[in-house]
Structure 1
């Protein structure tokens, strides 16, 4: 399971921190109950009691990704320009996490080397994060700025653009110094097209 059961949140967070460090340096394959226990100076029994298995640790990493994503989008200030707010959500939250938390991104978003049953463990956190994004698109719809699209469809198109941009940046297909500008321009162009009224 991805959620702690018997130990306190501080212990659980320390174990997930260790698992993320291991995944950053060696991918999902580097995450093991024993390695996490050694890194945190605890016992394998403690890890098992909190997460149950390696799969539980990996699920906790996926959950952490979506908690960070959802909280990041929800906490962005709302301005009088909902389009600009969405661009900031893409660049300031999604892109930042894809760059600074690569293991979490690979596990949570790309499902790299993650068993489908494990993915199912962090689906609730993914749904919560999705709700934060849809709330931003709801503002567009409420303002009459989303002609011809539902909030769900527009959110998925925006997410697809973010995932594609992240994949390109991660594989080195963008100049690092100009990557943020590429993201901003692409997302602005997408949103301009979405919000343009059709005759």
Structure 2
């Protein structure tokens, strides 16, 4: 994909891959605070000049990392069985894989879906990639539930915001001490049941219209 970090020739492929693997390791272990040119150079075992040479600077690295993380998400979601005609089962299977990906690395998820890097705005072409690797895949499973005459994209968006919102809030709650009397325990099953119930409720509302 042609973005601000540009295209690389065959001779640079291995070197770029080494940088990207180092960037992913930094992101997972240190969070976005570690995504500095110096920090990435140290993690990759090279100099800051090497980062600028291959990516043009920090923004180029972030674009490449953004692209890679969504490719990883798409690969994970590709393991979900293809839609079998049962909208609820199809959406829940997708949603479970999506939640699992988020819980595996909250720092990676935050980098992908939140503005955690001040001043960083992903390349427009990469935003298209992000949509294709996440929302579009879910929407295809939701569209059959859209009532006749309604906008299927709205149905997809309503389910997406429910799924995405519940996952994001779960990560926030898990990262902090629960307030006194909070009704959800920190056990995985507690949040999963609410997650499932939320998606079932939205889908039931769509099909009942």
Shorter-chain TM-score: what band? Answer: 0.7 to 0.9
Most deviating of 21-30 and 97-106: 21-30
Structure 2 counterparts to residues 14-53 of structure 1, below 5 A: 14-53=18-57
Structure 2 counterparts to residues 11-160 of structure 1, below 5 A: 11-78=15-82, 79-92=84-97, 94-118=98-122, 120=124, 122-129=126-133, 130-138=135-143, 140=144, 145-147=145-147, 149-160=150-161
TM-score, normalization by structure 2 = 0.77
Equivalent residue pairs, number: 191
List structure 1 segments (4+ residues) > 4 angstroms apart after TM superposition.
Answer: none
When the two chains are superposed, the root-mean-square deviation of aligned CA atoms in Å is 2.5
Are 1:191 and 2:203 an aligned pair?
yes
- Give the conservation status (yes or no) of the 8 Å contact 1:4–1:51: no
Partner of 2:179: none
TM-score, normalization by structure 1 = 0.81
1:151/1:14 CA distance change after superposition, 3 Å: farther
Q: Which structure 1 residue ranges, 5 or more long, are not aligned?
A: none
> Structure with the greater relative contact order (CA < 8 A, sep ≥ 6): 1 or 2?
1
CA distance in structure 1 between the partners assigned to 2:205 and 2:120 by the alignment: 35
Once the two structures are TM-superposed, the CA of residue 121 in structure 1 deviates from its matched residue by 5.7
Once the two structures are TM-superposed, the CA of residue 162 in structure 1 deviates from its matched residue by 1.8
Once the two structures are TM-superposed, the CA of residue 154 in structure 1 deviates from its matched residue by 1.6
Partner of 1:172: 173
CA offsets 1:105-154 (integer angstroms, 9 cap, x no match) = 1111112124353354631311322332222233x1xxxx3116422212
Once the two structures are TM-superposed, the CA of residue 165 in structure 1 deviates from its matched residue by 0.9
Q: Which structure 2 residue ranges, 5 or more long, are not aligned?
A: 175-183
CA distance in structure 1 between the partners assigned to 2:6 and 2:140 by the alignment: 26
